[in-house]
Amino acid sequence: MNAPFKTPTDPLDAPVWDLTDLYASREDARIEADLGRTRGMVDELNALQGLLIAARGEPAVLGERLDRAVSLYEQASDILGALGAYSFLAASTDRNDAAAQGFEATVREKLTAIATPTVWVTLEVNQLDEAEIEAALTAHPAAARWRPWLRRVRAMKPHELSNELETFLAERGPISAQWPRLFDETLAAMKVRAGKDELTQGGAAQGGGRGAERGAGGADADHGAGDEHRRRGQGAGRQMAGLQTPGGCAAPVQ
């Protein structure tokens, strides 16, 4: 994801993230509304668990259920991705802001709780035979739009674990994310001496002066935010907000 940034009025000021295309602030009422919407989508999606396998002998029914399941999966992934991206990037602008760090951790936990129950989706898809899937896509043409995504899911079949282990890995996502967070905070707190001044790394790189005013966690966090965001992938569950998003791109998770 490439978030727009505000053009600085002072050339010595580094760019800062402009996240208002996602949410206005941490207090934006749309955040809780979107969390509620995705919970509803996931509840509807999870009601289909077992029904894909049950319809394997009925191509038209299987195609209709595949279409609905993957549609819900994509819609929820998009919203969770936006929530995860906003919380991470907002916190990255100042790693010394305790409120921002707490907000990021809270959102990450909520995303994980919402997404983890969906690990069954790709596992159940991969219990179907290739011929059964092709017959379903032919019998229900609307489902054919998911063929590229289904192809990627099938390619991952040899690397899948059991439902229990996949759930375990998804649930421990917030814990694993603490290590990159610790790295970010440590890097943001580092100071270097530049003449008579003690500056953050970002301030020193800009030659001190106005650049140093951003303080710990400003330019330093901005510098690595994009790479870290892509690396972390917003771990709100290995399946839902990970590499196999139906829309064809990685949805960011914590």
Instruction: Examine residue 62 and state whether it is found in any structural domain, yes or no.
Output: yes
Instruction: Examine residue 55 and state whether it is found in any structural domain, yes or no.
Output: yes
Instruction: Examine residue 147 and state whether it is found in any structural domain, yes or no.
Output: yes
**CATH code, domain carrying 77:** 1.20.140.70
Instruction: Examine residue 210 and state whether it is found in any structural domain, yes or no.
Output: no
Instruction: Examine residue 181 and state whether it is found in any structural domain, yes or no.
Output: no
Instruction: Examine residue 153 and state whether it is found in any structural domain, yes or no.
Output: yes
| pLDDT value at 28 more than 90 | yes
Across residues 182-198, what is the average pLDDT?
72
Number of domains in the chain: 1
- Give backbone dihedrals phi and psi of 187, rounded to 5 degrees, phi first: -65, -40
Q: What would the pLDDT profile of 63-73 be if each residue is shown by its tens digit?
A: 999 999 999 99
pLDDT at 17: 72
Model confidence at 60, in pLDDT bands (50, 70, 90)? very high
Reference 63, options 133, 113, 151; nearest CA is: 133
Range of the domain at 85: 5-175
Q: What would the pLDDT profile of 84-106 be if each residue is shown by its tens digit?
A: 999 988 888 777 788 888 899 89
- Whether residue 211 contacts residue 139, with contact meaning beta carbons closer than 8 Å, is answered with no
pTM above threshold 0.75? no
Instruction: Examine residue 214 and state whether it is found in any structural domain, yes or no.
Output: no
Instruction: Examine residue 251 and state whether it is found in any structural domain, yes or no.
Output: no
Model confidence at 57, in pLDDT bands (50, 70, 90)? very high
